[in-house]
Structure 1
Amino acid sequence: MATGRAKTPARMEDLSVLPLFFRLKSKAVLIAGASDAAAWKAELMAAAGADVTVFLGREVADAALLALEADGRVRLSGAHWSAADWTAFELALGDCENDAEAQAFRARAKAEGVPVNVIDKPDYCDFQFGSIVNRSPVVIGISTDGAAPILGQAIRRRIETLLPKSLKDWTGLAAGLRDGVNARLKPGGARRAFWEHFVDLSFSGTSGPDDGAADRLLSRATRIAASPQTGSVTLVGAGPGDPELLTLKAMRALQAADVILFDDLIAPEILELARREAKRMLVGKRGGRTSCRQEDINRMMLDLARAGKRVVRLKSGDPSVFGRSGEEIMALRDAGIPVSVIPGITAASALAAGTTTSLTHRDCAQSVRFVTGHSKKGALPADIDWRAIADPTTTTMFYMGGRTAGEISARLIAEGLPPETPVLIAANISRPDERRWHGTLASLGRGMAEIGHDNPVLFGVGRVFARKSAVTGATNATQVLANPLGADSEPLYALAR
């Protein structure tokens, strides 16, 4: 059985900084400066429960600092930071006017073994402050490593809209339930299944848990403990390649998986979104190459599910569109393994979106067909009704037809489809290296030779592709190889950058 590894490290890409979370309750923190920036850091430290002393250096305190002192949240000292007893402090933050003062402040902190942050001077910092999303005890920190603070703030705003305010109450409930759940459920799949159900409840609405939520959840944990542990398989569509085209439901499945069996066409960026602890197994299936047999993949899914694992079978595009999902579903159902399917964006839809083309534009086509370009043996399918497919009022999308494109062109023309019918070929759809060829049915074989067979290829046949947008809708990374269609869309040999 042919298996392999992901092409790039799948668990964690390089980090510019490591996010850490400090418990500062009752810890002494030194802050130097009388500015509004110093006041904000003092308020932040006080919000984390720190014992904050601000050394003003005989400057006039900012109004915000005076308000914090009046509330009893910080202490103000007129002394300069150099006169402080640094051995009493756990952290030091300074608002320094120039590099010389910043260097001196950092040197003193390092001499005393105190982690230091100089506000707005990253070269003198041991740690940094990012944008914060506060749903305490859930706290999210966002860092751009000082490169783009405005971007960090924009990301924070985006996350704020995704997290309900009630998350704080649900997190508090989780803390109260933890001991009871741990007593009922052993570590592993059953305990994780309980907490995933808890997470679904937490995000199911805007309201917090009611008075009976704790009892109901503990009862559920008891029922899970009494039930035999069985695994499951979820067939997940990964879409054509762009990670942003992954559905939210697919994301949740990847985050819940114990094992991920993924195709050779899955982008590494999609695997990066999966649960870190999940085992990843490449079960590559590529036309014209040595592949893992379907029988072996079925057996792997059965063995893993019987061992109680939550298996994700990650497929390129949509599992139900030429993804051989029918064979896998049948094998799993016959064995009594729970199986579900999460659809993905199929390549034809992604190509239509990428070229701003309507596959059923009412001036050109009244229907759309998805047709396989090869049989199980790799040749042109013998049971296709070519006369029906050669319909000028239909848009036809051919999957896996790279090696049979010339034969397809000849059969369609023989059945009466005009040789000048527009054709659009695309390879690596939605990916940064996407390439397109725009031409006619008569020249389809030549176009496929230019595109090549090494990467996933889809081509569409129909009048909708005569529209200019079928070429000019390309993204900046898209290479348009040819466009011999004449007046409606001028010839293009261009690599847009």
Structure 2
Amino acid sequence: MDVLQQPRNEAPARMEALAKLPVFWALENKRCVIVGGSDAAAWKAELLASCGAHVEVFAETLSETFGALLTRPPAHASAKLTHRPEPWNEQVLAGATLTIGDFEDTDDAAVFFAAARAAGVPVNVIDKPAYCQFQFGSIVNRSPAIIAISTDGAAPILAQAIRRRIETLLPRSLKAWAALAQSVRESVNLWLEPGPQRRAFWEKFVEAAFTSAGAPDEEATVELIREAEALSTTTERGRVTLVGAGPGDAELLTLKAVRALQAADVILFDDLVSDEVLELARREAKRMLVGKRGGRESCKQEDINAMMVKLAKAGKRVVRLKSGDPMIFGRAGEEIAHLRQEGIPVDVIPGITAASAMASRLGISLTHRDHAQSVRFTTGHSRHGGLPDDMDWRSLADPKTTNVFYMGGRTAPLIARRLMEEGLSPETPAVVVNNVSRANERCWSGTLGSLGEGVRDIGYEQPVLIAVGNAFAEGRLAPLAIPGEAGKAASAGDGETDFYRATAAV
């Protein structure tokens, strides 16, 4: 099989540098020592108690908040909170699992830190990073599912903002689903051996946890065990999911697309898929570049089809990752037909197509009611490199239509000529964009009559999108704020993102 397997991103990405190692510490029935009676110390005591720790508090006086905490029953059944109204000394640290101190004076903090280290007890002094062996992060609590966020002390407000964002994404019912997973895990593991079947079971469970309206009902445990039992007797079948990667900006992916990438065994990706999108994939997934680019050595479609079938029949979950939307000029129809003919389950996750990304970036409605009654997405070249022979140029030249031509960089002069031959005015606004939504995006605006010049200015080595229509006369034709790294480049004025306007532009 003559299939190109280029090296880009085939190996899982290495772990990048971490400011701190995130560790989740079991504290149930463990003795922990807190020195200080402030509100801040009270919060740390409550946090430790919520993990089931036996917390001893050494403080001659307690704040009102701390005093109230001691009168309330702890949230965890194993927790104990004991107040010792006396000064601390080195002996009270002996045998502790960890210790936390609250000292206003730096010298007192240094003495406490040295004593804890001498006793071999991990230590944290509140609001004094120099005397901390570990730190606390912002917490999203769906216990037993727990998320902790840290900025290494650099920006606590940022950590809180991240926590609020995550809180909005995770339903409260996730707590009940996580508890259910914990309760059935041992039984499921008895039925299902490690590997594809067990992972398939848990991924289906996760899908239910995130898509169900609420918490699991009382019958859920029995149903899950039955499902594991049934799955243990079936032969694992692979499947293929066609996923739209969008125009390049990873933030434009759908949540469903991210979940598919996280569940994949193998990812067959196009040459135009960005590295940022691939970074969201499951780390263990095998990544294979099967890109097809005009004028370059490429994989044959027949080879890609055969590879998908072979992998799926081997029980793999295959993601066919296509730039833009797989159902728009992505040859998805051929792939779906071939997979169905071979009996391979296949589904499709749409993506944002380049035309939509371009309209968003320019702040232009493709169907502005004052200018366009329809929008057409048209291929800009045939399989032989020229314009398709069967295009209805008369209908495309309708002044009330917005036309977007994909893959038309090399045929741009021909496109302009044919539209003008059918009566479309040379003064009709036109736009050329390449690498839409990416850091190196470039855009030209002008008229249909100068379209060839625009493509020469922009270049066609990178993916080019051509748009023609009176809708582009509306508003200010300049890119809006650029997301992610592109925004940094534009604000820095380094010229990575350029906008050209022809002298004849309207």
Q: 2:35 aligned with 1:32, yes or no?
A: yes
**1:98 and 1:429, CA in 2 relative to 1: closer, same or farther beyond 3 A?**
farther
Structure 2 residue aligned with 1:326 = 333
The alpha-carbon distance between structure 1 residues 185 and 388, as it changes in their structure 2 partners (threshold 3 A), is: same
Q: 2: CA distance between counterparts of 1:343 and 1:212?
A: 34
Q: Return the match for 1:252 from 243, 248, 259.
A: 259
Letter in 1 for 2:8: A
- TM-score under structure 2 normalisation? 0.90
Q: Indicate which of 288, 291, 298 corresponds to 2:305.
A: 298
Q: Residue 465 of structure 2 corresponds to which residue in structure 1?
A: 458
**Does structure 1 retain, via aligned residues, the 8 Å contact 2:361–2:479?**
no
Report the Cα distance in structure 2 between the residues aligned to 1:288 and 1:138, rounded to whole angstroms.
Answer: 50
Query: Does the aligned pair in 1 maintain the 2:244–2:324 contact within 8 Å?
Result: yes
CA distance in 2, matches of 1:445, 1:166: 57
Aligned twin of 1:491: none
TM-score, structure 1 normalization: 0.92
Distance in 1 separating the partners of 2:151 and 2:202: 31
How far 1:395 moved relative to its partner? Answer: 0.6
3-state SS of paired residue (2:385): coil
Question: 372-381 or 316-325, which moves further after superposition?
Answer: 372-381
Residues 354-393 of structure 1: matches in 2 within 5 Å? Answer: 354-393=361-400
CA distance in 2, matches of 1:474, 1:133: 31
Matched with 2:69 is 68
Between 1:6-15 and 1:239-248, the stretch displaced more is 6-15
**Would the alpha carbon gap of residues 403 and 10 (structure 1) be closer, same or farther in structure 2, given more than 3 Å must change?**
farther
1:227 match = 234
Deviation, structure 1 residue 71: 4.4
Letter in structure 2 aligned against 1:4:
Q
Q: Is the 8 A contact 2:29 2:53 kept in 1?
A: yes
List per-residue Cα deviations over 1:396-430 (Å, max 9, x = no partner).
Answer: 10111111112222222222221111111111111
Describe the shift of the 1:198–1:466 C-alpha distance in structure 2 as closer, same or farther (beyond 3 A).
Answer: same
Q: Deviations 1:271-300 (Å, cap 9, x if unpaired)?
A: 222222222222222222222222222122
Q: Could you tell me which residue of structure 1 aligns to residue 52 of structure 2?
A: 49
Question: Following the alignment from structure 2 to structure 1, what is the Cα–Cα distance between the partners of residues 149 and 23?
Answer: 11
Displacement of 1:483 in angstroms is 4.2
1:422·1:441 contact (CA, 8 Å) conserved in 2? yes
**Secondary structure in 2 matching 1:127:** coil
Shift of 1:438: 0.7
How far has the Cα of 1:19 moved from its partner? 1.6
Residues 1:180 and 1:371: Cα distance change in structure 2 (over 3 Å): same
Aligned-pair CA distance for 1:64: 2.3
Q: Displacement of 1:206 after TM fit?
A: 4.4
Q: Are residues 163 and 329 of structure 1, via their aligned partners in 2, closer, same or farther at CA, if it must alter by over 3 Å? A: same
Q: Is the 8 A contact 1:235 1:313 kept in 2?
A: yes
- 3-state secondary structure, aligned to 1:85: helix
Measured in 1, the distance between the counterparts of 2:446 and 2:25 equals 61
Contact 1:133 1:159 in 2 (8 A): yes
Structure-2 residue corresponding to 1:3: 5
Residue number in structure 2 paired with 1:147: 154
- Establish whether residue 484 from structure 1 lines up as the match of residue 503 from structure 2: yes
Deviations 1:34-89 (A, max 9, x none): 21111110111111111212222x4x221222233344742223444444432311
CA drift of 1:462 comes to: 0.7
1:236 deviates by 0.3
Q: Alpha-carbon deviation of 1:192?
A: 1.7
Task: Tell me the secondary structure at the aligned position of residue 357 of structure 1.
Answer: coil
Measured after TM superposition, the shift of residue 474 of structure 1 is 5.5
C-alpha separation between the residues in 1 aligned to 2:286 and 2:306?
A: 17
Of stretches 299-308 and 264-273 in structure 1, the one that deviates more from structure 2 is 264-273
Aligned partners of 1:46 and 1:74 also within 8 Å: yes
Match of 1:111 among 118, 129, 132: 118
Distance verdict in 2 for CA 1:195–1:467, change over 3 Å = same
Moved more, 41-50 or 141-150: 141-150
How many positions carry a matched residue from both structures?
485
CA 206–407 in structure 1, closer or farther in 2 if over 3 Å, else same: closer
Map of 2:77 onto structure 1: none
Greater displacement, 348-357 / 199-208: 199-208
1:271 — aligned with what? 278
Deviation at residue 110 of structure 1 after TM alignment: 2.4
Task: Give how far 1:201 is off.
Answer: 2.5
Corresponding residue number in structure 2 for 1:168: 175
Q: 1:378 to 1:113 in 2, by over 3 A?
A: farther
In structure 2, how many angstroms separate the alpha carbons of the residues matched to 1:395 and 1:226? 55
C-alpha distance in 2 between matches for 1:110 and 1:452: 63
Which of 120, 136, 139 in structure 1 is aligned with 2:143?
136
Alignment partner, residue 76 of structure 2 = none
Q: Aligned residues: percent identity? A: 59
Please state how far the C-alpha of 1:484 moved relative to its aligned partner: 2.9
1:121–1:288 CA distance, 2 compared to 1 (3 A):
farther
| Distance in 2 of aligned mates of 1:443 and 1:41 | 68
Q: Distance in 1 between matches of 2:140 and 2:293?
A: 43
Partner of 1:494 in structure 2? Answer: none
Instruction: List alignment gaps of at least 5 residues for structure 2.
Output: 74-79, 491-496
CA shift in 2, pair 1:186/1:356, >3 Å = same
SS in 1 for 2:243: strand
CA deviation vs aligned residue, 1:229-261 (integer Å, no higher than 9, x gap): 110000000111111211121122112111111
Deviations 1:197-219 (A, max 9, x none): 22233233343222222222222
- Give the unaligned 5+ runs of structure 1: 489-497
Q: CA deviation at 1:268?
A: 1.7
Q: Which amino acid aligns with 1:69?
A: L
Instruction: Please give the residue correspondences for 1:306-325 in structure 2 after superposition, counting only pairs within 5 Å.
Output: 306-325=313-332
CA distance in 1, matches of 2:116, 2:385: 70
Structure 1 residues 99 and 407: CA distance shift in structure 2, 3 A:
farther
Cα distance in structure 2, aligned partners of 1:29 and 1:396: 69
Distance 1:280 1:472 in 2: 33
Distance 1:100 1:294 in 2: 71
Distance, in Å, in 1 between the alignment partners of 2:106 and 2:385 is 69
Aligned 8 A contact 1:466 1:485 in 2: no
Over the aligned positions, Cα root-mean-square deviation in angstroms equals 2.1
